Amino acid sequence: MSDHSPSTATSAPAKRTFRIWRGDKNGGGFKSYQAEITTGMVVLDAVHQIQAADANDLSVRWNCKAGKCGSCSAEINGKPRLMCMTRMETLPPEGDVTIQPLKAFPNIRDLVTDVSWNFEQNKRITPLTAPPKGDPDLFADGTFRMYQHEVDRSQEFRKCIECFLCQDVCHVLREHDLHTEFIGPRFLVRAASLEMHPLDRADRTSFLKYQANIGYCNITKCCTEVCPEHIHITDNAIIPLKERVVDAYYDPVAKVIRWIFGAKKS
């Protein structure tokens, strides 16, 4: 394989300069470090190399190195990305590589931010609410059947690794600091995974409108662009939820239909 060819192994490894933000909530600045680049290397490898050789006190959060734990989120050349999934050859071949911590959350130190606000938002969402006894969808033995084509939608949302890149890039949080009012795309995805679940019986439309403030989302799709799991956050989660809010609050015809036939969760 060309990746391990003798010529690659014997040639001098290329060096790249990394501008890494060093500091904490009180301030800081970019510092430049050199790292040797080898084939197949990811940005997190370079950060570890720098940490081992030149900056033992560099703070960086990481865990699985496989794009599944969502720990190593940062901004690489200005884009929110996972460091462990950003291969060096996908970056421009020339110039420095800039690494910053996430912008939407308070900085603790260097590349580590305090993302605990997200876990507080998660608690605000009504969890999956199973059908009560006597629900017509329940079998006599109290079990419930759901089918693959019914759960496909929710399963897409279950791919989320909670890296919070979508929260970081969302301009409502990132630029307008509306953390007290807007729940963010990650938790609209979670709400969608529950709302669309065939077993669920809770109604979260009031929460979505008045507390999650889904109206703040102006669907500019940056969350979808940065999602490392390629979840169609805007098209499959947020817009369908917005449409459910329209059904409940903005569509007079839907209101009349509900008035005549009664409201039911279908």
Partner 1 sequence: MSSAPISNAAHQPGWFATERKDPWYVSPLAIGALLLAFVVYSTAVGLIGGYHWLNGTGYLSPFYSPEIYGWGPHAIWQGAPGFWPEWLAKVLPFSSAFLILAVPAGFRLTCYYYRKAYYRSIWLDPVGCAVGEGRKTYWGENQLPLILWNAHRYFLYLAIIVGFILLYDGIKAFWFPVDAAGKQFLWTVGGKAVEGAAYVRTTLDPTHEAGWKFGIGLGSIILIINPLLIMGYTFGCHSLRHLVGGRKDRFGPTPCGQYKAWRFVTWLNEHHDKWAMGSLVWVGFTDLYVRLCAAGVWHDVMIYSPFAK
C-alpha span between 181 and 160 (Å, rounded) = 22
Residue 19's φ and ψ, nearest 5 degrees, are: -95, 105
Query: CA angle, 214 as apex, 211 and 220 as ends, to 5°?
Result: 150
Q: Note whether 141 binds partner 1 by CB under 8 A.
A: no
What is each CA distance from 146 to 142, 151, 199, 200, in whole angstroms?
A: 13, 7, 7, 11
> In this chain, which stretch among 39-47, 63-71, 140-148, 155-163 interacts with partner 1, using CB under 8 A?
140-148
Closest contact distance (angstroms) between CB of 59 and partner 1 is 12
Cβ closest to partner 1, residue 54 vs residue 251: 251
Residues 8-27 that bind partner 1 (CB under 8 A): 21, 23, 25-27
C-alpha span between 217 and 243 (Å, rounded) = 13
Residue 184 in 3-state DSSP?
A: coil
Cβ closest to partner 1, residue 51 vs residue 77: 77
Q: Note whether 67 binds partner 1 by CB under 8 A.
A: no
Q: Which of 65, 159, 171, 255 binds partner 1 (CB under 8 A)?
A: 171
Q: Note whether 95 binds partner 1 by CB under 8 A.
A: yes
Residue 259 in 3-state DSSP?
A: helix
Q: Note whether 135 binds partner 1 by CB under 8 A.
A: no
Closest contact distance (angstroms) between CB of 70 and partner 1 is 18
Q: Note whether 145 binds partner 1 by CB under 8 A.
A: yes
C-alpha span between 190 and 233 (Å, rounded) = 10
Q: Note whether 247 binds partner 1 by CB under 8 A.
A: yes
Q: Which of 52, 219, 256, 263 binds partner 1 (CB under 8 A)?
A: 219
Closest contact distance (angstroms) between CB of 147 and partner 1 is 6
* Residue 94 DSSP symbol: S
Closest contact distance (angstroms) between CB of 68 and partner 1 is 23
Q: Which of 31, 65, 68, 103 binds partner 1 (CB under 8 A)?
A: 103
Closest contact distance (angstroms) between CB of 246 and partner 1 is 5
Q: Note whether 78 binds partner 1 by CB under 8 A.
A: yes
Cβ closest to partner 1, residue 160 vs residue 239: 239
Neighbours of 188 (CB within 10 A): 29
Residue 253 in 3-state DSSP?
A: helix
Residues 43-62 that bind partner 1 (CB under 8 A): none
Residues 180-209 that bind partner 1 (CB under 8 A): 180, 182, 195-198, 200
Neighbours of 6 (CB within 10 A): 7
Using CA of residue 26, residue 29, residue 33, residue 38, what is the dihedral sign? positive
Q: Do residues 163 and 102 lie in contact, with contact meaning Cβ atoms separated by under 8 Å?
A: no
Residue 251's φ and ψ, nearest 5 degrees, are: -105, 105
Cβ closest to partner 1, residue 30 vs residue 65: 30
